[in-house]
Amino acid sequence: MNIFQEILDKHLGKIAGVLLGLAFGWFAITYGFFKALFVAACIVAGYFIGKRIDNRVNFRDFIAQFFRER
């Protein structure tokens, strides 16, 4: 049981992100091949969002950095 708690503590954001992406994408996969690709994109996006949560990245700073003037 201790291993599961450690995994949840360290990777909860990634797990939640993947599950949310999978759940959202599941509705799309029932309608065809290209939507299955969409599911894969949802899972990847969920993973990266969860990874940011695990690393405690401030989303306002992330968005500001993403849209800053070059």
Give pLDDT tens digits for 24-39.
777 777 877 777 778 7
| Summary mean pLDDT of the chain | 79
Could you tell me the CA-to-CA distances from 40 to 13, 16, 20, 27, 49 in Å, in that order?
A: 18, 15, 12, 12, 14
| pLDDT band, residue 70 (cuts 50/70/90) | low
Q: What's at 61, amino acid-wise?
A: D
Q: How many CA atoms lie less than 13 Å away from 66 in the CB half-sphere?
A: 6
> What pTM does this model have?
0.51
Supply 67's token pair: 């849209």
Place of tokens 């309608």: 31
